[in-house]
Structure 1
Amino acid sequence: MSLIADSGVFNGDIAAAVSHLLNFPESIDKFAFPSRSNGTNETKGVSSIPVDILDTPKEYIFYMDVPGLSKSDIQVTVEDENTLVIRSNGKRKREDGEEEGCKYMRLERRPPQKMLRKFRLPENANVSAITAKCENGVLTVEVEKLPPPPNKSKTVQVTIA
């Protein structure tokens, strides 16, 4: 047996093992969605921006760094009833010189690429109560949680026969 198998890390699926190794909280797994290209034109030339997901008692909050993009460059939608989709066109305007004859001596900042991220929302996500704001280069998407369902337990009277 290998050292990895003996350590018990791979008792479950590979995603759980990687999550364990990277010390991610288990709650992030509920947002799992394939993020790699599936061969369609939708994902061609698209980058995957890292995201932080905060699980609070009342909502889920998604934080993404989107430097150089304004709120008009970003689209947040819900598809298939429970899939949060965040995309951008990835365009940033370069500043032109104020005087004629100006030219760039160096261009090191890469323009943002098109961005597409999809997240499968948990059952308790209220998809009709989603807000998004872009401020100081950070996109914040808040997804309100639905209240827990009422307890449907019922007491049955026991009779003597």
Structure 2
Amino acid sequence: MNPMADINGNLASAMNHLFNFPENIEKLMFSDRSDSKGMTSIPVDILDSPKEYIFYMDVPGLSKTDIQVTVEDERTLVIRSNGKRKREDGEEEGCKYIKLERRASPKFLRKFRLPENSNVSAISAKCENGVLTVIVEKLPPPPKPKTVEVAIS
């Protein structure tokens, strides 16, 4: 047995548990199969820092107006794009492309069930240099219950 495979499997399992991800990646990507037609999966990195969760997604060719970030059902983070990228038309009549290698930006939809300590009212997102960054602040931990000593008479 490969020890690295076990470590990676346990790490993936821990992340799935932390974010309430189903073990099956297909269930994670799309909640409704009918919504998934023509959509693609965009890889995501999720960083767990002491004060926030940070999601990083590469979205080349898309601007911030092409992407929607919402929260559904109280704790489901939804990131989607309609995948529209315009091709530059030739400025002069009679221009045509000789080669087209860059694919149009894909439509995508990703859903993440956020942990209970996520502050869904304090989510921010920015799109710079082809990278979408979504920051979900964590709620402060609940105060520890105080122990009150009662004198026995």
Q: TM-score normalised to the size of structure 1?
A: 0.80
Does the 8 Å contact 1:19/1:25 carry over to 2? no
Q: Which runs of 5+ in 2 are unaligned?
A: none
State the match for 1:13 in structure 2. Answer: none
Does the 8 Å contact 2:56/2:134 carry over to 1? yes
- The separation in 1 between residues aligned to 2:132 and 2:29, in whole angstroms, is 22
Q: TM-score normalised to the size of structure 2?
A: 0.84
Aligned to 2:15, which of 4, 28, 41?
A: 28
Q: CA deviation at 1:108?
A: 1.0
Taking only the aligned residue pairs, the percentage that are identical comes to: 65
1:150 paired to 2:143: yes
5 Å-filtered alignment, 1:2-151, equals 4=1, 20-21=7-8, 24=11, 28-29=15-16, 30-31=18-19, 32-33=21-22, 34-37=27-30, 40-151=33-144
Q: Which runs of 5+ in 1 are unaligned?
A: 10-16
- The separation in 2 between residues aligned to 1:142 and 1:19, in whole angstroms, is 30
Q: Runs of 4 or more off by more than 6 Å in structure 1? A: none
Query: For 1:1-41, what per-residue CA distance to the aligned partner results, in whole angstroms no more than 9, with x for missing partners?
Result: xxx5xx8x8xxxxxxx9673357476533222533556632
Does the 8 Å contact 1:92/1:111 carry over to 2? yes
- The separation in 2 between residues aligned to 1:57 and 1:114, in whole angstroms, is 32
Q: CA deviation at 1:93?
A: 0.2
Structure 1 vs Structure 2 CA RMSD: 2.5
Q: Secondary structure at the match of 1:35?
A: helix
